[in-house]
């Protein structure tokens, strides 16, 4: 009997230890829509289309996260999160926010891995659409500097220009996730919270054709009752890289470059409705003479609860002409989008969206939807579309 009691006690202790170390949550989003999209002014090329139908997975993902209490209020934390191509069965990889770190109520949080910076987070926070996704997403116009500041760093830390094609993601560098990054987030003091991200120069190489990419992303937010406000500044340095940001009007190859983005935004929640506003300035600075450029973007958004379950959402964003040493007239764009979201439960909504994005005649690269682009955007043309579908969180 004594041996049985000892064995039972040991089993209980072992089980408690396993449970203490296995605080893991599986979570995710399945967001799928049926779309009908159009792009005007296309030439009669092999990939041209008048209007097309498709099924889109709007930033659907699967994740695993957890923590372990280490004592004295300190916890080890981790998260592994990856995109899921529900529409096409595409491969799964942990390319979304994926990190490991430490967290304390007294000292804040430090994390290392693939991270969303405060600039991206602020833009998503102000966006009116659930999950900041779909063709109405403001990332179709934010931070692009006439379509030039697109793409992100690869696994080795080297900048790779954005892919422009049908159903691709076409948002700015500042609205991607930073790879090879480390971040620190402060505790919240009287509604104030600050985050700093450093992007490591993992690709650094010496020599005449050497490369060296690094950057940082800083943000401060304030939340008190119905009021939310934030300000961010992000900068990325590209040194002697062959894959520079480029424009058909200006060549930057061989020059050292710096791109930066400043955003300030706010939101007021009335309960039955919300009002949102954002202002942004994106700049490109280069060693090459006469190539410094900047572009201002502003946007307004609102939501209104028409019933306990139904909500109307809408937003308008405008990119002004490119200014600076290499100014380009008639180089802006306008995005407007409206939608309706109906909650079947706390985790499931039905939704419908219409979006319209027009590029001016002289934009360096035509604007397309930030998520699920049409692939047919043209200078002076318009991309538009309608989505209807469902979003389920778990």
* Residue 142 · residue 69 · CB < 8 Å: no
* Residue 94 · residue 113 · CB < 8 Å: no
Torsion of CA 137, 142, 145, 147, to 10 degrees: -10
Q: Calculate the alpha carbon distances from 130 to 33, 156, 377 in Å.
A: 13, 32, 25
Reading the block at residue 108, the tokens are: 């804040």
Q: Calculate the alpha carbon distances from 256 to 64, 87, 248, 292, 328 in Å.
A: 39, 40, 18, 12, 22
- What is the pTM (predicted TM-score) of this model? 0.90
Q: In angstroms, how far is CA 71 from the centroid of its own chain?
A: 34
Reading the block at residue 189, the tokens are: 């003091």
Spatial distance between the Cα atoms of 92 and 80, rounded to a whole number of angstroms: 12
Name which of 140, 57, 158, 170 is nearest 317 in CA terms: 140
Q: Could you tell me how many residues make up the chain?
A: 394
Q: Where do we find the tokens 């934009």?
A: 363
Mark residue 179 as left, alpha or beta (left: phi above 0; alpha: psi -120 to 50; beta: remaining): beta
3-state secondary structure (DSSP) of residue 347: coil
3-state secondary structure (DSSP) of residue 202: coil
Q: In angstroms, how far is CA 357 from the centroid of its own chain?
A: 18
Question: Residue ranges per domain, the chain?
Answer: 40-393
Q: Which residues pair with 265 in a beta bridge?
A: 230, 278
Q: Which CATH superfamily is domain 40-393 in?
A: Porin (2.40.160.10)
Element containing residue 4 per DSSP (H, E): helix 2-21
3-state secondary structure (DSSP) of residue 105: coil
Mean pLDDT for each consecutive 10-residue tract of the chain (394 residues)? 44 44 87 96 80 94 96 96 89 90 96 97 98 97 93 81 82 94 97 97 75 92 98 89 50 68 98 98 82 94 98 98 93 98 98 98 95 93 97 97
pLDDT for the residue 254: 53
Element containing residue 382 per DSSP (H, E): strand 382-393
Spatial distance between the Cα atoms of 177 and 90, rounded to a whole number of angstroms: 20
Q: How many CB atoms are closer than 10 A to CB 108?
A: 16
Contacts of residue 249, defined as CB under 8 A and 6 or more positions apart, other chains included, come to: 326, 328, 364
3-state secondary structure (DSSP) of residue 6: helix
Reading the block at residue 29, the tokens are: 């989003």
DSSP, residue by residue, 254-322: TS-EEEEEEEEEEEEE-SSEEEEEEEEEEEEEESSTT--EEEEEEEEEEEEESSSSEEEEEEEEEEPPB
3-state secondary structure (DSSP) of residue 367: coil
pLDDT for the residue 23: 87
pLDDT for the residue 326: 86
């Amino acid at each position: 009997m004594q041996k049985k009691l000892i064995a039972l006690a040991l089993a209980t202790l072992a089980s408690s230890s396993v449970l203490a170390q296995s605080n893991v949550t599986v979570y995710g989003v399945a967001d799928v829509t049926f779309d009908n999209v159009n792009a005007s002014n296309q030439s009669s090329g092999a990939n041209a289309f008048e209007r097309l139908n498709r099924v889109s997975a709007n930033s659907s993902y699967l994740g695993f996260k957890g923590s372990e209490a280490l004592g004295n209020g300190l916890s080890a934390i981790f998260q592994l999160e990856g995109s899921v191509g529900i529409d096409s069965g595409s491969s799964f990889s942990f390319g979304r926010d994926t990190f490991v770190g430490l967290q304390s109520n007294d000292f804040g949080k430090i994390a290392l891995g693939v991270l969303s910076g405060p600039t991206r987070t602020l833009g998503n926070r102000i966006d009116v659409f659930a999950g900041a996704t779909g063709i109405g997403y403001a990332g179709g116009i934010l931070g692009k500097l006439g379509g030039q500041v697109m793409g992100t760093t690869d696994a080795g830390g080297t900048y790779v220009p954005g892919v422009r094609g049908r159903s691709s993601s076409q948002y700015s560098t500042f609205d991607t996730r930073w790879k090879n990054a480390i971040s620190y987030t402060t505790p919240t003091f009287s509604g104030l919270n600050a985050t700093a991200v450093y992007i490591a120069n993992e690709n650094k190489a010496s020599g005449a054709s050497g490369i060296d990419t690094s950057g940082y992303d800083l943000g401060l937010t304030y939340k008190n009752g119905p009021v939310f406000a934030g300000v961010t500044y992000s900068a990325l340095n590209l040194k002697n890289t062959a894959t520079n940001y480029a424009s058909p009007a200006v060549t930057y190859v061989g020059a050292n470059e710096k791109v930066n983005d400043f955003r300030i935004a706010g939101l007021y929640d009335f309960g039955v409705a919300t009002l949102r506003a954002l202002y942004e300035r994106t700049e490109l600075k280069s060693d090459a003479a006469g190539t410094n450029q900047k572009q201002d973007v502003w946007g307004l958004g609102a939501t209104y609860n028409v019933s306990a379950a139904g909500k109307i959402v809408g937003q308008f964003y405008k990119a002004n002409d490119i200014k600076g040493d290499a100014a380009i007239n008639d180089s802006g764009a306008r995005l407007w989008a409206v939608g309706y979201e109906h909650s079947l439960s706390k985790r499931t909504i039905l939704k419908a969206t219409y979006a319209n994005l027009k590029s001016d005649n002289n934009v360096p690269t035509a604007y397309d939807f930030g998520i699920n682009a049409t692939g047919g955007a043209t200078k002076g043309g318009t991309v538009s579309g309608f989505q209807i579908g469902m979003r389920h969180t778990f």
